[in-house]
Structure 1
Amino acid sequence: MPTERELQIAPIVPESIMHNSRTLSNLQTLTASIFGAAAGILGLESYNGFLFYFVFTILTTLLFYTFRVAPTSLKAGHGLFDTSRYFRTQFEFWTGGLFSGFAGYALTWTLFYGLVRA
C-alpha cells in the first residue's frame, strides 16, 4: 500500500486505472479468439484445448506485464510484481483474462474445429 507521501508525488488516477483495465481486457478478449481459432485448426480436444487456453492466456498476461507494466513499475521503485498502481487488484490483473475471454475462446474453438474437421 502506497504511503501518503508517495500518493502526493505520484497520485493514483481512477481514470487511468480504468483505462489500463480496459486495455488489458480488450487484449485478452482478442487473443482468446485468436487462440480459439488456433486450437480449432490444430484439432485440439478436451483437456488439451483447455490447457492450451490457460497456458497462452497466462503467457499473454505475462508478456503484457513485461512490456507495459514492469518497466514503469521498476523505474518508479516499486516491487517487481506490484501492479497495484496501475490496476485495481493483482488478482484481476493476473487471472481476469482467464474468465473474461473464455466464452470467445470456446466459440471460436468449436467453430474452427467444426470447419476443419467437417
Structure 2
Amino acid sequence: MSTNNEMQIRRTASNSRSTISSKSSSSSSSSSSLPKENKIRNTEPILYSEVAVRFNENSLEQCRTSVSVLSGCVAGIIGLTSYKGFIFYAFSMFFLSFLIYFYIRNEHRKFFTSLNHIFINGFFNGLLTYVLFWTFLYGMVHVY
C-alpha cells in the first residue's frame, strides 16, 4: 500500500447476514400472534483504523494552528481591533473548514468519523495562538 492510502480510514462492508430467530416459549393457542420464525437483516459494519483517525485529526489540528498563526499575523498587520479581530478569526477558521470539506468532496467518512471533526472540533484550540500573534504584530507595527 502507498502511504497516502494507509492514513485513510478503512471502510468495509461485509455481506454477512445475521438471522434472528424467535423461539416459541410454551404451547400457546394462537400461533398468529407469534412473530415470524426467521428475520433476515443486512448489517454493514464500518471498520475504522484508530491510527488513521488519530493521524487525520492531528493533521487537521496542525492546519488549524498554522491558519491561526497566519491569520493572527494578518490581523495584527492590518490593524484589526476589538470584535473585528475575533470575527476575522471565525472567518478564517470557517474558510479553512470549507476548503478542507471542498477538497475531500463529500467523502468525509473516508477520513473522519463525523463531519463535526471538520467544522466544530478544534475551533477554539487555536484562539490563544491567534491572539498571541495578533497582539504581537499589532504592537510591533502600530504601537512601536
Q: Kindly state the Cα deviation for residue 14 of structure 1 after the two structures are TM-superposed.
A: 1.3
2:68 matched to which residue of 1?
Answer: 32
User: 1:88 and 1:6, CA in 2 relative to 1: closer, same or farther beyond 3 A?
Assistant: closer
> 2:139 is matched by which residue type in structure 1?
G
- Of all paired residues, the percent bearing the same amino acid is 27
Indicate whether 1:97 and 2:136 are aligned.
no
Counterpart secondary structure, 2:80: coil
> Which protein is bigger by CA-based radius of gyration?
2
CA-to-aligned-CA distance 1:7-32 (integer Å, 9 cap, x gap): 2xxx3211111111000000000110
Equivalent position to 2:83, from 20, 24, 47:
47
Letter in 1 for 2:140: L
Contact 2:77 2:137 in 1 (8 A): yes
Q: Unpaired segments of 5 or more residues in structure 1?
A: 74-82
Partner of 1:17: 53
Q: Which residue of 1 aligns with 2:105?
A: 70
TM-score by length of 2: 0.64
Task: Output the aligned Cα RMSD.
Answer: 2.0
- The answer to which structure, 1 or 2, has the higher relative contact order (CA under 8 A, 6+ apart) is 1
Q: Distance in 1 between matches of 2:121 and 2:134?
A: 20
d(CA) in 1 for partners of 2:74 and 2:121? 21
Residues 100, 118 of structure 2: 8 Å contact kept: no
**Residue 44 of structure 2 aligns to which amino acid in structure 1?**
R
Instruction: Tell me if the contact between 1:18 and 1:87 (Cα under 8 Å) persists in the aligned partners.
Output: no
Specify the code of the residue in structure 1 equivalent to 2:121.
G
Q: Using the alignment, how far apart are the partners of 2:68 and 2:139 within structure 1?
A: 18
Cα distance in 1 for partners of 2:75, 2:115 equals 28
Report the AA paired with residue 116 of structure 2: F
Task: Name stretches of at least 5 consecutive residues in structure 2 with no aligned partner.
Answer: 1-11, 14-42
Say whether 1:114 aligns with 2:105. Answer: no
- TM superposition shift of 1:61: 1.1
- For these two proteins, the number of residue pairs brought into alignment is 103
| Equivalence for 2:29 | none
The answer to whether the 8 Å contact 1:12/1:85 transfers is no
1:5 to 23, 34, 44: 44
Moved over 4 A (4+): none
